[in-house]
């Protein structure tokens, strides 16, 4: 019951955060310079009356709070408005391109977790030896390379030079490899560093010495006992990093000319297509909040102590 209450409180908090972020995004877009009506109607041919009518029709003549109330009422009913450029409903547009972006995000998360945890553990186990140094350098590169550059390098090597993988497109599995490597490398870098430092800390604990004294195999000590204790900070990093991943898709989808919601928002920013920008950013804020909620709740799965103290906290 305590766990349920805690989850409920978190959920309420998350909903409030999402609502707040909606207001914030709406406000940012509201401040955007440039008249969207002028990008829809050609000012050289349209009469001032036509422009004014269009503005009234879109509700842009009304004050901020009224516009927000309208948007919010519609949104709750699943209507995110229409693209100012193509007149497509925003929600349809997002849902149409969501699978490609989800596939990309998922592939890079898996890549970064597998590489990050494996290398992080190796690095901690062989700490201060050459393997550790090598892995730490890889991790540093991961967090220091711009994704658009690693993406371009991958294209240059594997598509232009070796001709192994397609440069662009989003339909085949092969086209997913390079973008998810480029995107996942950043996450791998963060996770390597986090897992290494928390593993190093855990390996110095007394209970590891006890386990060794008891004659447990190194492998069992590392994976069953040490890694499990080192995982919480790593999971936090992964959760926070998902947000960066979502944003990273904007750049990566542009580099690889993939279809996806990142690409949609990049195009929408260029054409000042406000409802689309709003929709996508709001959408990713929801995803981000939900993922971090899951991360929060997963602590109690990873660490029984948190589960037990749930009632007292």
Partner 1 sequence: MKDITSERSAVRLPKWRGTKIKGGLSASNLSVLIAGFVLVFITVCAIVPSWIAPYAPTFMFSDEILVAPSLAHLFGTDYFGRDVFSLVVHGSRDSMIIGVSAVLIGAVAGGGIGALAGYIGGIIDAIFMRVIEILMTIPGVLLALAIAAALGPSLKNIVLAIAISSIPGYARIMRGQMISIKKRPYVAASRSIGASNARILFWHILPNAWSPILVMATIGLGSAILTGAGLSFLGLGVIKEVPDWGALLSQGRNYLTAGWWMATFPGLAITAFVLSINIAGDKVQDFANPKTSKGR
Least separation in angstroms between residue 246's CB and partner 1 is 6
Phi-psi region of 81 (alpha: psi -120 to 50; beta: other; left: phi over 0): left
Please tell me whether residue 310 binds partner 1 under the rule CB under 8 A. Answer: no
45 or 163: CB nearest partner 1: 163
113 or 211: CB nearest partner 1: 211
Helix axes 274-302, 227-255, angle to 10 degrees: 160
Tokens linked to 289:
């909040």
Q: What residues from 121 to 180 belong to the interface with partner 1 (CB under 8 A)? A: 125-130, 132-133, 137, 140-141, 143-149, 152-153, 155-156, 160
Q: Is the dihedral of CA 59, 60, 61, 66 positive or negative?
A: positive
Q: Is 275 helix (H, G, I), strand (E, B) or coil?
A: helix
Please tell me whether residue 264 binds partner 1 under the rule CB under 8 A. Answer: no
Q: Which of 246, 260, 264, 279 binds partner 1 (CB under 8 A)?
A: 246
Stretch that binds partner 1, among 16-24, 71-79, 172-180, 304-312 (CB under 8 A): 16-24
Please tell me whether residue 232 binds partner 1 under the rule CB under 8 A. Answer: no
Radius of gyration over alpha carbons of the chain, in Å? 24
Q: What's the rounded Cα separation, in Å, for the pair 100 and 97?
A: 6
Q: What's the rounded Cα separation, in Å, for the pair 180 and 200?
A: 29
The DSSP 8-state label assigned to residue 310 in this structure reads: G
Please tell me whether residue 32 binds partner 1 under the rule CB under 8 A. Answer: yes
Indicate the Cα dihedral angle 164, 169, 170, 173, nearest 10°. Answer: -20
Please tell me whether residue 229 binds partner 1 under the rule CB under 8 A. Answer: no
> By the criterion CB under 8 A, which residues form the site for partner 1?
17-18, 20-21, 23-25, 28-29, 31-34, 125-130, 132-133, 137, 140-141, 143-149, 152-153, 155-156, 160, 197, 200-201, 204, 206, 209, 212, 218, 243-244, 246-248, 250-251, 254-255, 265-266, 269-270, 277, 281, 284-285, 288-289
């Amino acid at each position: 019951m305590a766990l349920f209450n805690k989850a409920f409180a978190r959920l309420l908090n998350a909903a409030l955060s999402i609502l707040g972020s909606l207001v914030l995004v709406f406000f940012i877009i509201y401040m955007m310079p440039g008249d969207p009506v002028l990008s829809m109607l050609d000012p050289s041919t349209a009469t001032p009356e036509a422009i004014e009518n269009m503005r009234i029709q879109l509700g842009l003549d009304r004050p901020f709070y009224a516009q927000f109330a309208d948007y919010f009422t519609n949104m709750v009913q699943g209507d995110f408005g229409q693209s100012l450029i193509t007149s497509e409903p925003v929600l349809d547009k997002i849902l149409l391109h969501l699978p490609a972006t989800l596939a990309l995000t998922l592939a890079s998360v898996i890549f970064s977790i597998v590489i990050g945890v494996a290398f992080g553990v190796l690095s901690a186990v062989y700490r201060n030896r050459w393997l550790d140094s090598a892995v730490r350098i890889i991790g540093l590169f991961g967090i220091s390379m711009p994704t658009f550059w690693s993406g371009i390098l991958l294209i240059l090597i594997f598509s232009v030079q070796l001709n192994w993988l397609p440069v662009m497109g989003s339909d085949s599995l092969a086209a997913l490899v390079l973008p998810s490597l480029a995107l996942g490398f950043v996450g791998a870098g963060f996770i390597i560093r986090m897992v290494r430092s928390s593993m190093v800390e855990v390996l110095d604990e007394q209970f590891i010495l006890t386990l060794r004294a008891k004659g447990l195999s190194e492998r069992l000590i590392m994976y069953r006992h040490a890694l499990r204790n080192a995982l919480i900070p790593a999971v936090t990093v992964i959760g926070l990093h998902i947000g960066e991943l979502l944003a990273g898709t904007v750049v990566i989808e542009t580099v690889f000319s993939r279809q996806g919601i990142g690409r949609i928002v990049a195009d929408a920013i260029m054409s000042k297509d406000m409802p689309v920008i709003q929709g996508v950013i709001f959408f990713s804020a929801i995803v981000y909040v939900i993922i971090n909620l899951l991360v929060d709740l997963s602590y109690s799965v990873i660490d029984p102590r948190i589960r037990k103290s749930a009632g007292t906290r």
